Structure 1
Amino acid sequence: MPTPGFPPNTLDDEGTPLWISELADEDPHHSVHVVRDLEPAAALEMLGANPTLFRSCELPDARTDGGASLPAAVLGIEPGTHAALLAGRIGAWTFVYDDSLFTEHDHTEPLSANGRAAATSTYSINADANFAYAVDGEMLAHINVDDLDLEKDLPDMPAELRAAFEAAGTVEHDYLDPGDPDYDIGMRAICALAGLHCTLEDLRRIPLLVTPFG
């Protein structure tokens, strides 16, 4: 598979979608959820967030001196105390960014209930990367990137998910053999699935909700 065909200036040097890496803490430990045909506030509630704490926000220009994520900076949250969840909708898909990995793959199936499609991509501070995909309340794929064999596994993926991983492609790194999946493939795949080929400036032009969590 070739280097991903994302538009120019939408990936950082590691191959992470730029809007994600620019939102994140300096030491990323985070998750991204996407769900089709569900509004941001409803998605946040399904993840367990308290609706009385939701607020509209504009993202700051840069991280604070402490290196907190941009959503955490909006809320004044100190790193390691609570998560900050940021949600918005682009087209048919809502995304929720969790800056502290408080929400994971056990939320994917509930998000996908009632005929919806949903996915979750996680990346930990220890470089553990996982991906989950569910439709109509049923988990159809749960991928540990360490175990992902693109040549073997792609043909067995549901068509929508296979197209997302094909669009995500691979990025060459010194620690990988050519064509092996890198740790950011899940974040690219989730963006390809939901059409989130965007930048932070694109997010500044849409309504956003932010809330503390945990």
Structure 2
Amino acid sequence: MPTPGFPPSTLDALGTPIWISDLAPGDMNHTLHVVRGIDPAGALEVLGAKPELIQLCELPASSPNEWTSLPCAALGIEPGTSAALLAGRVGEWTFVYDDSGYTHDGTALSGEGRVSATSVHTINADASLVYAVDGEEVMWINVDDLSLDEDLPDMPDELRAAFEAAGTVETEGAEPGEADSQVAMRAACSLAGMALTLSDLRRRSLLVVPFG
């Protein structure tokens, strides 16, 4: 499993960054935003969260059931009633994890000269990533159409480096080196330096907010 940017302890068996799979509900219909140059509260507001609902978050030890994400459990809300957005900071980067995929368009996060990436993975295993700079989409990557050998040279330098670090995970029926469905999530995490475990995440200051 050639994933040079991720030690084995930071990925699950499918190649999902383990901090995400440990947070997520069982259906894995979610979005990850990463952005450089804005704090977590600011990022949540850009995505449309109500400032008065944003609160500090202590993630619970476990989820009450397979349909409830840990951020949703932290808010004490039933799954399906709203999304839960979890935000924090890793170095220069802020991340926002959306447990229900409501905030699929994160281009606005890159406004005012910032850089952002948004990785989407749906319950139907549709996967994509948008890389944006200064409020404009620079590249949209549909994982189903991604050819790493052909497409990597055309990517901006830091995005190419992120996909190189993300590497590939061998899945049933796939050719060796073929892009797997989780490669965009790993690339977004690599871009933001998030080769983490859930324990690593718990040691950081986190914000959570209901959304939608």
Q: Does TM-score exceed 0.5, indicating one fold?
A: yes
- Which whole-Å CA distance do the structure 2 matches of 1:149 and 1:8 have between them? 24
CA contact under 8 A between 2:106 and 2:117: conserved in structure 1? no
Percentage of matched positions with identical amino acids: 62
List structure 1 runs of 4+ shifted beyond 4 angstroms.
Answer: none
Alignment of 1:188-203 (within 5 A): 188-203=186-201
Deviations for 1:169-208, whole angstroms, at most 9, x for unmatched residues?
Answer: 0000112111110000001000110001111111111110
Alignment of 1:141 onto 2:139: yes
Gaps of 5+ in 2: none
- Determine helix, strand or coil for the equivalent of 2:19: helix
Whichever residue aligns with residue 16 of structure 2, its letter is: T
- Correspondence for 1:163: 161
- CA distance, structure 2, for counterparts of residue 123 and residue 52 of structure 1: 29
1:9 and 1:161 map into 2 onto residues whose CA distance is: 23
**Aligned equivalents of 2:141 and 2:80: distance in 1?**
27
> How do residues 57-72 of structure 1 correspond to structure 2 at under 5 angstroms?
57-72=57-72
Aligned partner of residue 9 in structure 1, secondary structure = helix
Question: How big is the alpha-carbon RMSD for the aligned residues of Structure 1 and Structure 2?
Answer: 1.0
What is the number of residues matched between the two proteins? Answer: 211
User: Secondary structure of the equivalent of 1:26?
Assistant: coil
User: Partner of 1:9 in structure 2?
Assistant: 9
Q: Deviations over 1:135-192 (max 9, x none)?
A: 1112111011001011111000000100000000000011211111000000100011
**Amino acid of the structure 2 residue aligned with 1:184:** Q
Aligned twin of 1:43: 43
**Cα displacement (A) at 1:131:** 0.3
Aligned equivalent of 1:206: 204
Residues of 1 paired with 2:38 and 2:76: CA distance? Answer: 28
Q: Given residue 50 of structure 2, which amino acid in structure 1 is its aligned partner?
A: N
CA shift, 1:66, in A, is: 4.9
Alignment-derived partner of residue 112 in structure 1: 110
**Which one-letter code corresponds to 1:85 in the other structure?**
L
State the one-letter code of the partner of 2:142: N
Structure 1 residues 66 and 184: CA distance shift in structure 2, 3 A: closer
